[in-house]
Amino acid sequence: MLKWALIFFVISLVAALFGFGGIASGAAAIAKILFYIAVALFVVFLVMGLLAVKAIK
């Protein structure tokens, strides 16, 4: 998912260079949403991993 966020970020940068404001802002918004989802999933799996380690000990 982070890969898709980076792809949309690059698309928004290229579109911004050519002056396509609507496309650039749309791609940037998608990249931002995917990035936050990836961060949230990382935190959830990190907590789950820490709880699993405590349960084993």
**Are the C-beta atoms of 32 and 14 separated by less than 8 Å?**
no
**What confidence score (pLDDT) does residue 43 get?**
92
- What contacts 19, CB < 8 A, 6 or more positions away? none
**What confidence score (pLDDT) does residue 1 get?**
67
Mean pLDDT of 27-39: 87
8-state DSSP, 1: -
**What confidence score (pLDDT) does residue 40 get?**
92
Q: Domain ranges for the chain, please list them.
A: 2-56
Separation between Cα atoms, residue 27 and residue 12, nearest integer Å: 5
What are φ and ψ of residue 20, in 5° steps?
A: -90, 85
Model confidence, pTM: 0.66
